[in-house]
Amino acid sequence: MRVSLAQVAAVADAAACRELALAALARAAEDGADLVVLPEYASFFDPRGVDVAAAEHVDGPFVTALRAEARRLGVAVVAGVTLGSDEPGLASNGVVLVDATGDLQGVYRKVHLYDAYGERESDRFAPGPFDEPPTMRVGDATVGVITCYDLRFPESARRVVDAGADVLLCPAAWAAGPGKVEQWSVLARARAIESTAFVVAVGMAGRGVCGSSAAIGPDGSVRARLGLEPGQVTVDLDHADVVRARERNPSLANRRFAVVPRERADG
């Protein structure tokens, strides 16, 4: 699978964000990519905070444009989009999975909201449900999704692997700050090593966030990396690397514990 990491700098203008996303798809197609990954909040971003005012329906302008362009170019796309929720006054931090025919294969709604480092995402967003994680087939790979703060919770990645994914996609708007780039890098590599899976971590560029997107191999090796500024890089991920890693290090087969959602366990 050839995947393109589109580290855009989204803005507080929905129409401009659609143009950024469509341009990223076009570049991915030029590079012969099978899949392009855009960051969290790709549909609208304000470093001061995104709220329900930016929410769109899953059939709204952003996702509709992505689906049409994916179909036209024959490139799958995964992107962060602010969606509505069933809770009054709160949005949903979503990620859509669109295949190369333009079909919507799934929607992930962020489970772990960023109530950390002085931020309160839960004041503006409702947490996603504990549904089976959505996955999508791209070539010989199965991709699944976690989002930003989810990366700090290894059980989130493990649930996606248990759902069949061998490539973990992590769209993010990773907040800037002391040590944050290093944490982003270490956590992405840890999720890859413990899951014996590829991790494609795509961060937002721009004010208040730290970019630093990377594609990580199932052995923790960095296959591609971007810096702080907007950019796009395309990299080949060989499914045989996952097979070899899981043969050498059968940690998934050797584990002794399953992952169960906390509310289900408490109930």
- Report H helices in the chain: 14-30, 61-73, 154-162, 180-195, 239-248, 251-254, 262-266
Question: Environment class of residue 51 by beta-carbon count within 10 Å: exposed (0-12), middle (13-18) or buried (19+)?
Answer: middle
Terminal Cα distance for the chain, rounded: 41
Contact between 5 and 215 under an 8 Å Cβ cutoff? The reply is: yes
Q: Which of 17, 40, 69, 170 is catalytic?
A: 40
Q: Which of 56, 69, 148, 210 is catalytic?
A: 148
- Report H helices in 55-138: 61-73
Whether 148 is catalytic is yes
Contact between 160 and 193 under an 8 Å Cβ cutoff? The reply is: no
CA angle 141, 131, 217 (to 5 degrees): 30
Q: Which of 110, 121, 170, 210 is catalytic?
A: 110
CA–CA distance, 42 with 50 (Å, rounded to integer): 11
Name the residue among 257, 90, 21 with its Cα closest to residue 158: 257
Name the residue among 152, 88, 160, 96 with its Cα closest to residue 125: 88
Phi, psi of 72, deg, nearest 5: -65, -40
Q: What is the DSSP letter of 133?
A: P
Whether 19 is catalytic is no
Phi, psi of 253, deg, nearest 5: -75, -30
Tokens of 243: 């097979």
Which residues have a catalytic role annotated?
40, 110, 148
